[in-house]
Amino acid sequence: MASGCYYGGIEGGATHTRMVLLNEKGSVVVDKDVELSTNQWQVGFDECIKRLSDLVSSAKMHAGIGADVPLTALGLSLSGADSAEVGRAMEARLNSLSLVLPDNITVECDTVGVVATACENGGMALIAGTGSNCYLVNPSGERFRCGGWGHMMGDEGGAYWISHFCIKKLFDAMDNLVPTNLDTSHVHRIMCDYFNVSDQKCMLKHLYTEFKKDVIAGMCLELAKCARDTRDPLCLSAFRAAGRYLALHILALLPKADKALFSEDAGLKVVCTGSVWKSWDLLEEGFVEGLSSSNHADVKINKLTLLSLTKPAAFGAVYLGAKKAGHHLLVDFADNATVFYQYTFY
C-alpha cells in the first residue's frame, strides 16, 4: 500500500473534469480526464459533491492509497464555484467526508486555477471557450473579474458569441433589416449544413425550443475553417470583433492590477485558455485594435504577454490546495505555460 504525502487537484468544467494526484516529490501519480460535469449549477450541489468524492476515491484506489487514508491536501478549480459562499460550502461538505486531512481542502473558481498553473504569485486569466471570462488575481489574493456573465449578458469573444454574430448578420441581411455589402452566402451554407436546415424558420427550434448553447457554439469551428480557406469577409469580421472584445476584457481590469504583477521583460502575464484561442491567427488583428483603444488610453503598462498552458489547470488546483495546507511544492512555472504573443504599448 502506498504511503507518504499525496496532493490532489481537480479541474472541473461543464463537460469535462480532470483529476491529478502528485506525490511528495511532485511526480504525477494519477492524471485522469473524464467526460463528466462538475458544475454545481448544472448538476446540483449534492450531485456535484458526490461526483467529486467519487473522483478522489477512484484516484486513491488507482494510486494504491487505502480508502481510509486521507490525502494531504486537495485543491479544486471548478466552473460554477465563482462565489465565496459556494466555495466555502463545498469545502465544508467535502471536509466532512474525511477524504483529506482536516481543513486542507480549498475550492476556487476555474479561472483562479488557470492563473495558479502558470503564475506563482497572481496574474490574469482570459478564457474564451464556449463563453468568455477574464479574471485578475493580485499577489494579495484580491480578485477582480470582467465578463463571465453567460450568453444573455455577455460572453463576448466566446464561440457562442461568434456563431451568434454571424447568424444575426445573416438574418438581418435576409430580412433587409440591416443590409450589408458583405457576402452572406458562405455563412448561409454553413448554417444550413451544420444545423441541417433549409431556411430561417427551420432555425427557430435550434434557437428556442431545442436551444443548446454548446451546439450553437460548435458552429464556430466551421466559421473558422471558412475564414481561413476562403477569407470570407463576414467570418473574418466576426473573429476580428471577437479579438477586439477579448482585448477590452484585459484593459477593463488593468487599472486593478497590482504593480508587482508587471515585470520589465513580460509586462503583465495573461493566461489564455479555451478553444477560441486556437484561432489566434483570426483574432490577432482585432485584439491589437482593442488594445490600442483610445477609451483606455489612461492605462499605464509597458507590455502584455499572452501565455497558453502546457499543463492542465488541475495542476494549478494542486498548488492551491498544497499552499493552503502550508506545504511548498517545487514547481517550475515556466514549464507549465508557453508564450505565444507579446504586445508592447507605445
Provide the pLDDT for residue 81.
Answer: 87
55 lies in some domain = yes
- Answer yes or no: do 13 and 114 share one domain: yes
Residue 29 belongs to some domain of the structure: yes
Q: Which of 306, 293, 299 is nearest to 266 (CA)?
A: 306
Model confidence at 166: pLDDT above 70:
yes
d(CA 287, CA 273): 15
285 within some domain: no
DSSP 3-state of 83: coil
With respect to residue 279, please indicate whether it lies within any of the assigned structural domains: no
Strand locations in 35-159, DSSP E?
73-78, 105-109, 123-128, 132-137, 143-147
Domain count along the chain: 2
Residue 2 has pLDDT above 70, yes or no: no
Tell me how crowded residue 339 is: count the other CB atoms within 10 A of its CB.
12
**Which is it for the CA torsion 15, 78, 260, 334, positive or negative?**
negative
For residue 304, list its beta bridge partners: 268, 343
Q: How confident is the model at residue 1 (pLDDT cuts 50, 70, 90)?
A: very low
Q: Which three cell numbers stand for residue 273?
A: 485558455
Residue 231 lies in a domain: yes
| Mean pLDDT value of segment 211-225 | 95
Angstrom distance (rounded) from CA 215 to CA 228: 21
Backbone angles phi, psi at 327, to 5 degrees: -105, 140
- Is residue 328 pLDDT above 60, yes or no? yes
Q: What is the pTM of this model?
A: 0.89
Q: Are 88 and 174 members of one domain?
A: no
CATH number at residue 172: 3.30.420.40
Please indicate, yes or no, whether residues 116 and 166 belong to a single structural domain of this protein: no
| Mean pLDDT across the chain | 92
- Examine the domain organization and report whether 166 and 112 are in the same domain: no
The rounded percent of the chain whose pLDDT value lies above 70 is 97
Within a domain: 260: no
Last residue in a domain, options 194, 217, 243 = 243
Indicate if 32 and 95 belong to the same structural domain. Answer: yes
**Would 45 be classed as within a structural domain?**
yes
Handedness of CA 86, 87, 89, 93 (dihedral sign): positive
Sheet (strand 105-109) strand order = 28-34, 17-23, 6-12, 73-78, 105-109
Last residue of a domain, one of 201, 223, 243: 243
Which pLDDT tens digit goes with each residue over 49-102?
999 999 999 999 999 998 889 999 999 999 888 888 999 999 999 999 999 999
In a domain, 234, yes or no: yes
Cell numbers for 97, please give them: 467526508
Query: Residue 54's domain spans which residues?
Result: 6-120+311-331
Residue that terminates a domain, selected from 243, 266, 293: 243
